[in-house]
Structure 1
Amino acid sequence: MPNPSYQERRDQVESYFDRTAAEAWKRLTSDAPVSGIRATVRAGRERMRAMLLDWLPADLSGKRLLDAGCGTGLLSVEAARRGAEVYAVDLSPTLIAHAREHVPSDLPGRIEFAVGDMLAPGQGDFDHIVAMDSIIHYEPDDALDVIAGFAERARVSVLFTFAPRTPALAVMHAVGQWFPRSDRSPAIVPIAEKAMRARIQGAARFDGWEIGHCERVAQGFYTSQALELRRRKEDT
């Protein structure tokens, strides 16, 4: 059962992305013109998505993949093109509806889009789980619980991103507090890479797992750190 702090922040994230930011998010994840600041975020997210996809096998035929916090489904589409059976879940009904409307015609039945929590029971097990910028709003203990929940359901790998603790990100966060409260996104909670590694390596919940790739993408107003957990071969 998720902690109350996770539930509270999840409700804030759901409200923001489904009501306040849904239209802006649709534009950001499309080819529509955006402001200079948002253009850097778009470019950074494109780089991050491409990197996470590079960490997955080129051929995903017969594999089941969870896109946790899928947004408008761009990563889901690319994974499905590689042959994966994709379960794509997001808290926002608005973004899921948009994703369903824009599934390419050559991918019928390859992606199941669902509204809900990325930890909801009944989703089953997966070969690979990807959570791109889906846990950056949660406190470290809650984020670690989410990652551990993924590890319980993944057979091969878990790829996720977190907000690294950097001076530049701290400045951006401080600037963001000057925006009207109604325009603010839920606060991003940074954690140092060293601290994230230590939390994973020191937790029994991750026995049988090892840290693989770990790389940062920093472009303009977008900064995010990707980390790969992979199950040790003797445990597969």
Structure 2
Amino acid sequence: MAAYDQTLDRVEDYFDRTATKTWERLTSDAPVSKVRATVRAGRDRMRDIMLSQMPEDLAGKRVLDAGCGAGQMTAELAARGAEVVAIDISPSLVEIAAKRLPEAYRDQVTFTSGDMHNPELGDFDHVVAMDSLIYYEAEDIGASLARFCPRVRRSVIFTVAPRTPFLMTFWSVGKLFPRGDRSPVMIPHAPGKLAKAAMQKGAEGQLREVERVTSGFYISTCLEYRA
């Protein structure tokens, strides 16, 4: 898992030290540029799609918001009655999420920072990972699903960057820059390759593509893994 750990460190450094203010603004109602407005709209649409894969009533269900960011998904899950564990690699973003959570839901949510795979977090009915795995190789995503499977009763709903010509070009160009001079780069994936990687890592279940969202520079695919 050396490659996974290295990517995890880069993502933590980027979101906790470099991009916190950017993400705080993007996930608020504050005015943003036209480009970032398309990203905001795309993320809003993707969040709705991911939520649509779970029951409207989540009372009595335990859900892991894996990569909770500034807490938009967390609040939606709590509003449906779920007991939520909201975790992010960035303590700064977790702090923002905790401050934003409506008072009415505070008893339903546990906030923490660290690795979303930590077994001490317990078992869940659902895991939701919005844009949390987009920086990882196929074998790392497969291993992630394998680590979740024994602890998830129903589904893992997550997003990846789709393998499109535009994103493949963007990815290739990004790799030309020195690692220290760029943010973590999304790695495009085809669902079939991810399903194979999950099986090779020992995950038992079915992977299906739910829906793709394209909104300006936000391009992402929702996938669902069921044991």
Q: Tell me the TM-score normalized by structure 2.
A: 0.93
Equivalent AA in structure 2 for residue 145 of structure 1: A
Q: Residue 138 of structure 2 contacts residue 197 of structure 2 at CA under 8 Å; is this kept in 1? A: no
Identity in percent: 50
More displaced stretch, 142-151 vs 12-21:
142-151
Structure 1 segments (4+ residues) deviating >4 Å: 174-183
1:1-236 alignment, distance < 5 Å? 3-173=1-171, 184-200=182-198, 202-203=199-200, 205-207=202-204, 209-231=205-227
Structure 2: gaps spanning 5 or more residues: none
| Deviation by residue 1:174-226 (Cα, 9 ceiling, x = unmatched) | 565688976632111111233223434x447232x223452111111011111
- One-letter identity of the residue aligned with 2:116: M
* CA distance 1:175–1:12, change in 2 (3 Å): same
* Worse-superposed segment, 142-151 or 128-137: 142-151
Contact 2:191 2:207 in 1 (8 A): no
CA distance in 2, matches of 1:127, 1:226: 18
Structure 1-normalised TM-score? 0.89
1:183 and 1:117 mapped to 2: Cα distance? 25
- Unpaired runs of 5+ in structure 1? 232-236
Aligned residues: 227
Give SS of 2:134's match.
coil
Return closer, same or farther for 1:180/1:145 CA change in 2, 3 Å cut-off. closer
